[in-house]
Amino acid sequence: MIINVERQAQSYQVDLSKGIVCSSILGDPQREPSAWYVNPVAINPVRMGDWVGAVAEGGSVNFFDISFNPHGNGTHTECYGHIDKGHQKLHALMQEQHGWVYFQRMPLRMKSGDQVMKLADLTIPAEGLPEFVALAADGLSFPAQFSNTNPAYLEAELCRFLAEAGVKHLIIDLPSVDREEDGGALAAHRAFWQYPEATREEATITELAYFPKELAEGFYFLNLQIAPFHNDAAPSRPVFYPVVRG
């Protein structure tokens, strides 16, 4: 299916059969990064007495339980309820699943012994930044087990700039916009959500995304698919669609 979309009075065509999936796959060790000391995703058949929910073990159907943590197991999208005592729910706040996304690969710079993405390396396109921005850490391996590795993160100034530029949805392949151990400061989360002074309630952060090496920098049409969990975060599936001028 081909659809026509517009950006700044210019028409583009999007082939919906050409989507590039930029997410992990829960339960697949080859596509499942992890962080925050969580256990791997567990997918096991239900057992009730003599009955087992696995055809391979003699059951009539496959009937499996799945155990995971949305923040630590794979690609997920979170709202400001992640850092607020109200534990606001993502599905109630996120109003946009489609839009233009600007994708850039960012070098990692040393800062106080850490690797960080810095505002100075962000390239601002002539037409400005759209509401969705995706940033890939140059040289990052996938999948990776990030727990207790002090992984790279974003400097708070970068997140503050994105918020002030009107970016509502940030997508990264790192486990967090903040340092693994920061004493609870969460400076980048707070800067992006402008929390608590002027909280941007509809803004979201997507972490542990997967950006294929062949994904070129530039603009794409995006479908950010969110699993319907009643929680501050949920597994998500960003799909990038190449665009051509109409």
User: What does the pLDDT read at residue 82?
Assistant: 98
Residue 35 pLDDT level (bands cut at 50, 70, 90): very high
Over the stretch 206-222, which tens digit does the pLDDT of each residue have? 999 999 999 999 999 99
CATH number of 2-38+69-245: 3.50.30.50
User: What does the pLDDT read at residue 246?
Assistant: 75
Q: How do 2-7 and 114-117 pair as beta strands?
A: unpaired
Q: How many CB atoms lie within 10 A of CB 169?
A: 25
Please give the Cα distance from 213 to 146 (Å, whole number): 20
Residue 95 pLDDT level (bands cut at 50, 70, 90): confident
Query: 11: which 2 tokens?
Result: 């028409």
What's the distance, Cα to Cα, between the start and end of the chain in Å? 15
Name the residue with higher pLDDT: 242 or 95: 242
User: What does the pLDDT read at residue 85?
Assistant: 98
Contact 78, 226 (CB under 8 A): no
Contact 96, 239 (CB under 8 A): no
The angle subtended at Cα 31 by Cα 100 and Cα 222, nearest 5°, is 10
Helices and strands: H and E segment counts in the chain: 3, 18
User: What does the pLDDT read at residue 192?
Assistant: 98
**Could you tell me the residue ranges of all domains in the chain?**
2-38+69-245
The mean pLDDT value of the chain amounts to 97
Over the stretch 108-125, which tens digit does the pLDDT of each residue have? 999 999 999 999 999 999
- Mean pLDDT over 37-41 rounds to 96
The DSSP call for residue 197 is T
Contact 38, 45 (CB under 8 A): no
Q: How do 204-207 and 132-137 pair as beta strands?
A: unpaired
Of 244, 218, 203, 236, the closest CA to residue 74 belongs to 236
% of the chain beyond a pLDDT of 70: 100
% of the chain beyond a pLDDT of 90: 96
Over the stretch 136-169, which tens digit does the pLDDT of each residue have? 999 999 999 999 999 999 999 999 999 999 999 9
Beta bridge partners of residue 6, listed in sequence order: 11
pTM of the model: 0.96
Lowest mean pLDDT among 3-12, 43-52, 80-89: 3-12
